[in-house]
Amino acid sequence: MTVALIIAIVCAIAFAVLWQREAARSKDARRELHALHDTTRASNERLRHLELEATTHRLNPHLFKNTLNTVQSFAYRTNWALERLGRLFDFMLYDSQTGAVSLEEEVAFLKDLIELNKLRLGPLYDLRIRIDVDASDRWYRERLIAPLITAPFLENAFKHGDLDGDHGFIHIELHLMDGHFHYEVRNRSLEQADAARRKGGLGKPMLRQRLEAMYPGRHQLHYDDDGGSHRARLAIDLEAAHAALHTAR
C-alpha cells in the first residue's frame, strides 16, 4: 500500500468522523431550537394568560364599583322620596287640621306632591310647572286656604292622565295676584278616563262642598274636556274671603 493511498484512507476516515460529529451537532442544534421555540410559545401563551387574568381582575372591581354606584343612586332616591312623603304626612296629619293654612304652606305641600309623582314619569315627559307667587304678598302667608285644596286636580291628572303615550302632558299653573288665587291643571287624558270622568265620582262633589262651605260666592271652579285633554281651574278671591271671615267673627 502506497503512502498516497494510506493518506487518502486516513483523510476519508477523518472526514467521515467530522461529518458525523457535525451532523450530531446540527441535530442537537435543531432540537435545542425546537425546544427554545416551544419554550417561547409557552412563555407567550403564559404571558397572554397573565394579561387576560390581570384585565379580568381590573374589570371586576370596576364592575362592582359601578354596580355600587347604581345601588347608591336608588338608595338616595328612596331616601329622598321617603323624606318628602314624611313631609306630606305631617302636613295632612297636623297642619291641615287647623281649618285653614297659608298659601305658602299649601304651595310647599303641592311641590312635594309633584316631586313624588314625577317618579312615575319618564325623563322626556312633558311636565310643566309654573308657580308665580310673590313671597312678599300679604295674602301669601294669611291662613285663608282650605288644606289640601290643590291635591284633587293633581291627583286626577296623574290618575287619569296619559302617562305613557307619546303626546301625554301635564301642565300646572298657580298664580297669586292682587288678592286673587288662580290654580289650573291641564293634562292629556285616556279615553277610558274621560268616560269614567263623565260618569262622575266622589272627588268633584266633595271639592265643591268644601269650596262652598269656605268660600261661598267668592270662588269659581270649572272643568273642561276637549279633544282628549282635561282642564281643571280654580279661582278664589282671598281678599273677599278674608273680609268675610273677619265679619263673621
Residues 6+ apart with CB under 8 A from 149: 106, 183, 207, 210, 211, 234
Per DSSP, the chain holds a count of helices (H) and strands (E) of 6, 7
- Domain ranges across the chain: 1-93, 100-248
**pTM score above 0.85:** no
DSSP, residue by residue, 55-104 = HHHHHHHHHHHHHHHHHHHHHHHHHHHHHHHHHHHHHHHTGGGGS-EEHH
pLDDT of residue 56: 53
pLDDT of residue 82: 82
- The 10s digit of each residue's pLDDT in 55-114 is 555 545 555 566 667 677 777 778 888 888 888 888 888 777 777 899 999 999 999 999
Is the per-residue pLDDT at 244 higher than 80?
Answer: no
- The 10s digit of each residue's pLDDT in 4-59 is 445 545 455 554 555 555 555 555 555 655 555 566 666 667 666 666 655 555 54
Band (3; pLDDT cuts 50, 70, 90) = very low
pLDDT of residue 76: 77
User: Which of 25-34, 46-55, 197-206, 234-243 is predicted least confidently?
Assistant: 25-34
pLDDT of residue 247: 59
pLDDT of residue 84: 83
Q: Which CATH superfamily is domain 100-248 in?
A: Histidine kinase-like ATPase, C-terminal domain (3.30.565.10)
- The 10s digit of each residue's pLDDT in 211-228 is 898 899 999 999 998 878
- The 10s digit of each residue's pLDDT in 155-191 is 989 888 888 878 889 999 999 988 899 999 999 987 6
